[in-house]
Amino acid sequence: MPMLTAIIIDDELKSREGLEAMLHNLIEGVSVVAMADSVTSGVKAIAKNKPDIVFLDVEMPRRDGFELFDAFDKIDFEVVFTTAHEQYASKAFRTTAIDYLLKPIDIDLLKEAIERAREKRDKDKVNKNFEVFVNNLQTNKSNQQIAISSSDGLLFIKIDNIVYLRGDGAYTYFFLKTGERITTSKNLKEYEDLLSEYDFFRVHKSSLIHLHEMKKYVRGEGGYVVMSNGDSVDVSKRRKENFLAALSKL
């Protein structure tokens, strides 16, 4: 389980130390990297440590916890409000907070909050990886190396190394020259939009092929193509005409 880093912001020393001890002794996979006694010092700690989660007390001297959000253009950490004021809870949910814990903190609810934060963190990471992928394609075409998110993390592959892609609902399988097959949780249409300018063509609703990796086209109603790795890929009747037009431009 990947370690999540956390910061605790609370004006009460005992409350900070108690939560740190709960996280350290009773919860797996969370490391408290800093603690702060005010919003001002909390902002500095976040900027320095870039935590995954911030446990944020609401009522603190001078600036309440909600004012922390004013200090950041983008909240790229998860927030769990900790408060003894139940009336703050609804306000917490109207902001970017994902969760809140009423004091005294219930250990089971703390565990649940951590899990929700972890799940959201993982999901955000996938989205961020895809942004990297898009950005890479759009800004660095000459390199022709793309990053795709997989179950293991980010994979960087050369576009020239892709033989074809097969879609299956929300998933897409990349078939590479090396014989590898990579699964991603994006549908084929998104890759069609991204790769069409690199001579990839959607020959079937479930197949996007790299035209340069085609060995043979076998005519038929729609016909099929044999790719460089030996796999056969059907061409749908509806797409045949456009497919042949694309081939003529190569």
Q: Measured between alpha carbons, how far is 236 from 201 in angstroms, rounded to an integer?
A: 12
Q: How far is CA 90 from the centre of its chain?
A: 27
Type and span of the H or E element at 57: strand 53-57
Q: How far is it between the farthest Cα atoms of the chain?
A: 77
12 counts as binding other proteins under rule CB under 8 A: yes
69 contacts: CB under 8 Å, gap ≥ 6: 75, 95, 96
109 counts as binding other proteins under rule CB under 8 A: no
Which residue from 104, 169, 179, 230 is in contact with other proteins, where contact means CB under 8 A?
104
- Which range in 100-108, 155-163, 190-198, 227-235 contacts other proteins by CB under 8 A? 100-108
**Which CB atom, from 88 or from 130, has the smaller least distance to other proteins?**
88
**Strand duo 145-150 + 78-83: pairing:** unpaired
- Which range in 8-16, 122-130, 227-235, 240-248 contacts other proteins by CB under 8 A? 8-16
- Residues from 53 through 82 that contact other proteins (CB under 8 A): 59, 61-62
84 counts as binding other proteins under rule CB under 8 A: yes
Which residue from 40, 75, 85, 120 is in contact with other proteins, where contact means CB under 8 A?
85
DSSP conformational letter for 75: -
Which residues does residue 43 pair with via DSSP β-bridges, in sequence order? none
**Strand duo 99-102 + 171-176: pairing:** unpaired
- Residues from 28 through 57 that contact other proteins (CB under 8 A): none
Which residue from 1, 25, 108, 249 is in contact with other proteins, where contact means CB under 8 A?
25
Size of the site for other proteins (CB under 8 A): 22
Q: How far apart, in Å, are the Cα atoms of 166 and each of 49, 136, 227, 237?
A: 41, 22, 13, 18
**Which CB atom, from 11 or from 199, has the smaller least distance to other proteins?**
11
**Which CB atom, from 104 or from 230, has the smaller least distance to other proteins?**
104
